[in-house]
Amino acid sequence: MQYNRVCIETLTTLLPPEVCTSAEIESRLAPVYQRLGLPEGRLELMSGIRERRFFPRGTLPGQISSQTVRKALEISGLDPALCGALIHGSVCRDQMEPATAAGVHHAAGLPRQALVLDLSNACLGLLNGMLMVADLIELGRIQAGIVVGTEIGRPLVEGTIAKLLADPAVTRKSIKLDFASLTIGSGSAAIVLCDESISRTGNRLLGGACLANTFHHELCAGGVDSSQSTSGGPLMSTDSEALLHAGVELAEETWQLARQELGWTNDSVTKVFTHQVGRAHRSLLLDRLNLPEQIDFPTVGFLGNTGAAALPTAAALGLQEGFAGAGDQIAFLGIGSGLNSIMLGLNWQKTLSE
């Protein structure tokens, strides 16, 4: 895929106020750790995640997404009346129906003519939303659009802790399938895209590639399992090691396609932002793609895995902190369970101040 007239005006994030350390989670799991003979510090050692953040209990994704959209629009300086699409792209939603995007659209005061919908695709929802909005802009259907998503990780983490404490049959082997659920954090991010004719930044979305390997669709699966969940909340089962290797293999194929589409070599890339899963995933991914770690901006150590919000959150923080800026050729390296991968190229010119 290639784009000739799509610009990214704003990447922004809202970080949750409450910090939950891996040590705190292990303290709550002390009876399980003691019974299985697991060493303290295992969670941080294996994942590289020392802490993650949560929004207050009872917070709905749409409440935070509404704030993030308003913040993104304010930073962009775009007239909200120009916004022809609002896509809510996180795994977490307020309810099954109607779309969480509907409440966010109302709270943000966007035009009635806008396309309003939820788009869910594991950790790639916001990137998929970017492509949908970019396609609409490139076709001349709309002048601008917004993609937003908020992940609420507390219910999954606390539900997993409750499940493990209540399960007398848990073993050192079976607990591995719950490990990834304890790395989840909360976060919110938004991306404003527009036609180059109304852009103040000239930050070009150049294009990229997407690729699927759905043979591996069962390696990570989540939802509400009333037979196991003691809280009625979500649970997730993840074969972390198999997912790691299958995901990186798919990423390597996707990166080859993206470079061909963009006319890039690895030397063309000055900065990358990756999906933030854990330390081992980051190291193996960058090694297999033959990209140096110093051009990546890791956030997983203090935010945990924030799902679909992870990559755009890392990009928003990296741009605001000056890690990337004018003249950088930026790659977004996205991977999501399913398995799916999206890799995009950007030419960055200007970061608008928050």
Catalytic residues: 97, 123
As to burial, measured by CB atoms within 10 angstroms (0-12 exposed, 13-18 middle, 19+ buried), residue 300 is buried
| Distance, CA of 276 to CA of 308 (rounded, Å) | 10
Task: Give DSSP secondary structure letters for 49-106.
Answer: --EEEEPPTT--HHHHHHHHHHHHHHHHT--GGGEEEEEE--S--S-SSS-HHHHHHH
Report residue 140: phi and psi, to 5°: 80, 10
Pair 83, 145: CB distance under 8 Å: yes
Pair 347, 203: CB distance under 8 Å: yes
Q: How open is the CA angle 121-89-324, to the nearest 5 degrees? A: 105
| Distance, CA of 140 to CA of 195 (rounded, Å) | 8
Pair 11, 316: CB distance under 8 Å: yes
Residue with tokens 């050192």: 172
**H-run or E-run covering 209:** strand 204-212
**H-run or E-run covering 253:** helix 240-262
Residue 215's alpha-carbon distances to 163, 219, 250, 338, 339, in angstroms, are: 29, 9, 11, 8, 8
